[in-house]
A and B are shown apart, each in its own frame.
Chain A
Amino acid sequence: MKILEEYAGALTNFEVLDFLRSKVNGKDPKTQLSPSEFKVYDYLEQTAASVQTRDIVNKFINECKSYDLAPAEILNIINIRPASEVEVYTIIEDCENRSGIDTEKLVETVVQVLPAPPTEMEHDEGAAANEEEAVANEEETADKDQNEVTA
């Protein structure tokens, strides 16, 4: 094995997820994800990448040009989607001493351009709603049974 180019380009989480999705939904139904690929797919579906699209990411990169950010920092922001200033501080190196960055504005652009990831709360609520439905159904059937008995 020979490594021709160690660094042939960075990928955002979204691009990897997009690649795996296209592999699943490709023309050939025989191609399947290997177990390890599926784990990656599973992890990425829970991150902010799951709701991003190519247009959104491109738009965000264009918006970022007005800030003095390194490419790696833009990549990290797209992957993490920081929704508050304190989260931005961790990603951007030496944030306080860099003049070109207005963190407040940056957070605003992030929140505006990048969609919020599906939170666990929503999942839980959905599950709870389903449970409630199930309970309601059970009650209905129980009522029916009772009715039958009384009849």
Chain B
Amino acid sequence: MNYLTLSLALIFVIIPLLLSKVLRLELEKDTIIAAIRSIIQLLAVGYLLQYVFDAENMLYILLMIVLMIAAATQNARRKGRSIQGITWKLILTFVVVEVLTQGILLGLSITPPTPQYIIPISGMIIGNSMVLSILFLNRFTAEVEDHEDETELILSLGGTPKQAIHRQLITSIKASTIPTIESQKTIGLVQLPGMMSGQIIAGADPVQAVQFQLLILFLILTTAVVTSILLGYMSYPTLFNERMQLVKSRMRE
């Protein structure tokens, strides 16, 4: 595809703009900003990736991963700002998930150790982990607030903080991972995953594309579960002090 053909794709931006104008949805400004941002961001990433791929330098790959983790942390931390030290907890979660998944992929030679594989897969892993973190933190902070009575009941009966928060923790872990599991049940039936579709459009063998997509799906499954559990078990102790008291000020946003 050349830039002239790509410019024709702007028709797909003009259609929502016109509809918004006619129906007075007032979405024009946001639509234009979104379109401009996606053009600039994706082109910049495209050129950056090309540079990193050509350079074949491990340092550049690491730098790209660090950037991804920083951006994901910045985005997710807003949802968990009521939890003490959430920034470091998120960074640690993303690092563990990245090391675990890439460790398996590269260690067992499932994918080759080239930037063409490491960077896009890292992007999918960290991106997915970020979404899971946001889902988990949203649910967990709400559960803690809504079930404060239950938490204090268990503490008052001589339970430990872990026992007192167990139900809320498990509910939040389940609630944040269920969408990933459920969406995998219908994958291929309702929609073809974007990455697989992209590979097929680019001329890849559909069966090969499916095999690679399956690998990514299983990676995302691990990412989802590990992210929620790790973040959950690192977050709950900060809600209590050393006298096993629920510290309310640490729960507030």
Q: A and B: real partners?
A: no
Chain B interface residues (CB < 8 Å from chain A): none
Chain A interface residues (CB < 8 Å from chain B): none
